[in-house]
A and B are shown apart, each in its own frame.
Chain A
Amino acid sequence: MDEAKLEMVLSRAMNDDAEAFGELYGLFRPRVFGLCRHLMGRHEDAEDATSEVFARLPKAIKRYEKSLPFPRWLLSVASHYCVDRLRRRQLEQRLFEAEPVEALQLPLNQASPLQHVISDEGRDRVRKAIAALPEQYRVPLTLRYYSDLSYDEIADQLGLSRPNVATLIFRAKQQLRRALGGAAPGA
């Protein structure tokens, strides 16, 4: 669908046209579901979250400002919702623990990272390894590489500092490499 058409659907949706929401659902459900699936971890939870995001859309869309492209905005609504759910799920344990940054100033590792694993063993293994990451790594990683958010946006959403986000993403990748059999950094 081209920009102009999407624009039309959006303006219809903002005027409470139920059919327009149906079209948006058809268009964006896979992407929203994909995001929720990565964030929530479990299929059912992702289904729940996806339905909930779209169920809330008529209300939420009133807040949509054209400064952001719609897909990006929608994904951020979805990730806000998911992060909120994840927080509630584990209220007692701090979900995104701020980690000391200095501890990570590791020496340069010459081993090639994920790359070689990937060419050999297929992306599906990577996907599974991502799914197996602990939430505190999986969520920022997803926001970065699925939602394409900047460190600042992620920090904003998760209530962390920017260095914390950098650390979490860095650690997430380290853990992925380890899980996929790549040499651990510093090894």
Chain B
Amino acid sequence: MIYLLDPLIYLLIYGFLLTAIMGLIASWIDRKVTARVQYRVGPPLLQPLIDIIKLLGKETLIPEGASKITFLMAPIIGFSGVVLVSTILWINNIDPTKSFMGDLIVVLYLLVVPSISIIMGGFASRNPLASLGASREMKLIMGYELPFILAVLVPVIHTHSIRLGNIVSYQATNGIFIGSLSGFLAWIVVILCVQAKLALVPFDMPEAETEIVGGPLIEYSGSGLAVYRLMKNMMLFTLPFFVMILFMGGWKFEGIYSLTGLLKYIGVVAIITVIRNTNPRVRIDQAVKFFWGPMTIIAIIAVILAFLGK
């Protein structure tokens, strides 16, 4: 049974615990920077953790006529998707030889699972506003998946391999991808697609707060909502980590490199927060036009430049 111990450690400690702690700290950074930009004091450091503990202590109410099993399983499915993705990313970051061939494709598939769990939860709630929010989320996924996959092709073309471990090792010897022109364009496209995947302004129309009263999560209370919030906070760590591994060389934990890795991570989170604070919310048709128009064109230009070797 001793051979099960290693992946279990990776799953529980790196995949779940470390990601949860870093995700809660990232959520606190986001809220504090937002508060400072709006000229006020923000919440204390442990606020996101206290939110989740409080939600676990409230009762869970299931609306009448909703499908009970789907309603209760949807947050757990999304949560397990995020835990698996972060486990794969941590394994690649710490020891690039331990991963398997094609894990980039597995990560791209698993990253859709949290968004699908929100759609499941929305449609299982038997509420017209929740269905409206879930259908908007579906259209948004169809919008940003195209430029996202095209932009992720750029590191694959440079390193001629679809193993994440090879991408990390290539950047250690040949310079990080964001320095080249194709890598920089692809990085811009990926940052905006990450903004849409996290459902942050300007692409937060699935969960518009005042317009459709909370969107797909309108009927969730208690532990279901706690798992959803934890899943969103962990996504706030996992997606910038993914961007770092693909374009900025990962996070090495030796000597001075751990500090520069921390600064890179905080930089990506700060860019996401600043975009969040300075933009209004767009409509769903404007968002889909934006992703299938300018973003796809920039991604195609980046792929062509990567083929030419730049």
Asked whether A and B interact, the reply is no
